[in-house]
């Protein structure tokens, strides 16, 4: 499979680049093995929650300033929501009316130009049978 070879070459290139940038070899990666020698294994690992105790001094004696809690804006009442929605709907209708008016004006202007060009060139010649 060609894509596997390309993938392995890309991984090797990337590793070489990282090593050249950091100036040291990365001991975390074992030498590359051919794909045929690699086996896939799955292990189920159990994770437990552990309580952690800290020995920090009280907050009053810490030299760092206390972080202030995030201010949450108050919830809107039903009336505020309703008036905001009505204002948004009215604004939307104004935009829609403006767009419709602009379309009508464009259509009228285009038809006027078309009619003027038709009058300029006269009626089309009769169709031949």
How would DSSP label each residue in 57-94? PPGGG-SSPPPPPPPPPPPPPHHHHHHHHHHHHHHHHH
For the chain, give the percent of residues with pLDDT over 90: 28
Q: Give pLDDT tens digits for 22-59.
A: 876 555 555 565 555 555 556 666 666 666 666 665 55
15: Cβ contacts below 8 Å, ≥ 6 apart: 26, 29
Q: Give pLDDT tens digits for 63-90.
A: 566 777 777 777 766 678 889 999 999 9
Q: Give pLDDT tens digits for 91-111.
A: 999 999 999 999 999 999 999
């Amino acid at each position: 499979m060609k894509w596997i070879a390309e993938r392995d070459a890309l991984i090797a290139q990337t590793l070489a680049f990282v090593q050249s940038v950091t100036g040291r070899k990365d001991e975390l990666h074992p030498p590359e093995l051919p794909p045929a020698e690699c086996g896939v294994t799955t292990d189920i690992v159990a994770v437990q929650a552990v309580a952690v105790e800290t020995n920090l001094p009280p907050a009053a004696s810490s030299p760092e300033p206390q972080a202030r809690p995030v201010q949450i804006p108050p919830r809107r009442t039903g009336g505020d929501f309703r008036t905001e929605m009505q204002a948004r709907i009215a604004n939307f209708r104004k935009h829609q009316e403006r767009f419709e008016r602009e379309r009508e004006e464009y259509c009228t202007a285009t038809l006027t130009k078309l009619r003027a060009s038709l009058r300029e060139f006269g009626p089309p010649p009769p169709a031949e049978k």
